Amino acid sequence: MKKEMYNKLVNAIMAQPKLYSTHKITYKEGLEVHTFGNPKNTELEEAKKLFKEKGYKSVDVHNQAQELAYRGKLCNSYLTILYGAEKDKISISLFDIGYGHAFYKQRYYPIKKNTPIFAWTKHMYSLLPLRKSKKSVVRIQTGNVQLYGSFPEIGDVITKTLFNINYNPYVMVSYRHILNTKNDWEALENYVGRSVPESLKRFDFNSIIMLCKTLKDINDLDKFGNYCEIYNEPRPLNNLFDEGSTMISSSLQDMLSLMVFGKYDESYLISNHMSYSITLKKKLITLAPSSVDVWNQEMTNMEEILRIKSFKQ
């Protein structure tokens, strides 16, 4: 039963009253819904009066409507957190009430919009809204729970409470790898299935994820870690012997290029191979020393495979 977690989540939000302006509870046929108003919500009477008197055409009301929007008096937003007993389900949505602008029609219109964000049934899912559609893309929840800027601090509370963590995760892996972890690196190591060498922890989390997804031999991760431990110097932005030359931190792709080709300049080739490997859903990256010509030929082969697949579709 998720009701206990639902109560814990609601209580965690209510414990920080500065995060919302209003709070309403609704009970109906096995459903419990808590609705929180955005702290910036205001009365919309000025907007209602404007459109009633002048209509909704942009040419008639644009300047006044823009001024109301700037003052936050054109639309209000709400966060709804629902528990359904029948399906033992927690769901989270954003709700907008007020007035919006239709760019192509050049007019304003009343809106009452519900945007599903998150659902927890058997698994946790993120619901990504599609433009020009009432449907959403349903995916396994990765990273933190995003509330699209409307309630960012409550989004942090939701993430920490549901995942049972004390940090805000930046690593984009499934919620199952983040649950009960102490930090992003622990979540990443859950995803990889092994420890990540300390020398690689200076790189971006998601660059390491991409590398792990594309390495033919995951043991090469330790090999790469040993290499980075030895070559832990910033790379030159220009030739070191040029006057005015500066140094910058090396990216993961820079270091892979140095390891494979003996120079930084081919990092784009590493990036392209990773991208193609992800697209083809194959592990194609090897870290043995090689030539640019060999990698270019492999990239040409992958491009041809993608071209044929695209043609068949």
Residue 178 counted as domain residue: no
Compute the distance between CA of residue 4 and CA of residue 13 in angstroms, rounded to an integer: 15
> pLDDT of 33-50, one tens digit each?
999 999 999 999 999 999
pLDDT bracket for residue 300 (50, 70, 90): confident
pTM (2 d.p.) = 0.82
Mean pLDDT (the chain) is 89
Compute the distance between CA of residue 21 and CA of residue 78 in angstroms, rounded to an integer: 10
Share of the chain above pLDDT 70, in %: 91
Compute the distance between CA of residue 261 and CA of residue 290 in angstroms, rounded to an integer: 6
| Same domain, yes or no: 62 and 208 | no
Residue 216 counted as domain residue: yes
30-50: buried (b, 16+ CB within 10 Å) or exposed (e) per residue? eebbbbbbbeebbebeebeeb
Task: Considering only the C-alpha atoms of the chain, give the largest distance between any 2 of them, rounded to a whole number of Å.
Answer: 76
Least confident of 99-113, 125-139, 186-200, 205-219: 125-139
| Same domain, yes or no: 236 and 113 | no
Give residue 226's domain range. Answer: 195-312
Q: Count how many domains the chain has.
A: 2
| Same domain, yes or no: 156 and 53 | yes
Q: Which residue has the tokens 């092994």?
A: 194
Residue 203 counted as domain residue: yes
Residue among 95, 89, 84, 86 nearest 117 (CA)? 95
| Same domain, yes or no: 209 and 272 | yes
Share of the chain above pLDDT 90, in %: 63
What pLDDT was estimated at residue 132? 59
Domain boundary (150, 167, 184) is at 167
What pLDDT was estimated at residue 131? 62
Task: Please answer whether residues 61 and 50 qualify as being in contact, where contact means their C-beta atoms are separated by less than 8 angstroms.
Answer: yes
Tokens for 63, please give them.
């300047």
What pLDDT was estimated at residue 238? 53
| Same domain, yes or no: 229 and 119 | no
Grouping H, G, I as helix, E, B as strand and the rest as coil, residue 212 is helix
Q: Which residue has the tokens 């870290």?
A: 287
Average pLDDT over residues 52-64: 93
Residue 181 counted as domain residue: no
| Same domain, yes or no: 199 and 152 | no
> pLDDT of 231-261, one tens digit each?
876 665 555 444 554 555 678 998 999 899 9
Average pLDDT over residues 172-177: 95
> pLDDT of 257-282, one tens digit each?
989 998 888 888 999 999 988 888 88
Task: Please answer whether residues 88 and 70 qualify as being in contact, where contact means their C-beta atoms are separated by less than 8 angstroms.
Answer: no
| Same domain, yes or no: 151 and 207 | no
Residue among 79, 83, 78, 76 nearest 33 (CA)? 83
| CA distances to 145, 181, 222, 225, 234 from 197, in Å | 28, 18, 6, 5, 19
| Same domain, yes or no: 113 and 258 | no
Task: Please answer whether residues 83 and 92 qualify as being in contact, where contact means their C-beta atoms are separated by less than 8 angstroms.
Answer: no
Average pLDDT over residues 101-114: 92
Least confident of 72-81, 155-164, 211-220, 299-308: 299-308
Domain boundary (125, 149, 167) is at 167
Q: Assess whether pLDDT exceeds 90 at residue 110.
A: yes
| Same domain, yes or no: 16 and 145 | yes
Compute the distance between CA of residue 169 and CA of residue 187 in angstroms, rounded to an integer: 9
Residue 295 counted as domain residue: yes
Grouping H, G, I as helix, E, B as strand and the rest as coil, residue 250 is coil
Cα dihedral sign, 136-140-142-145: positive
| Same domain, yes or no: 47 and 155 | yes
| Same domain, yes or no: 124 and 269 | no
What pLDDT was estimated at residue 53? 93
Q: Which residue has the tokens 């792990």?
A: 212
Helices (H), the chain: 3-14, 45-54, 58-70, 152-163, 175-178, 184-192, 205-214, 220-230, 252-261, 267-280, 292-312
Helical pair 220-230 and 205-214, crossing angle rounded to 10 deg: 130
| Same domain, yes or no: 127 and 8 | yes
Domain boundary (130, 148, 167) is at 167
What pLDDT was estimated at residue 31? 95
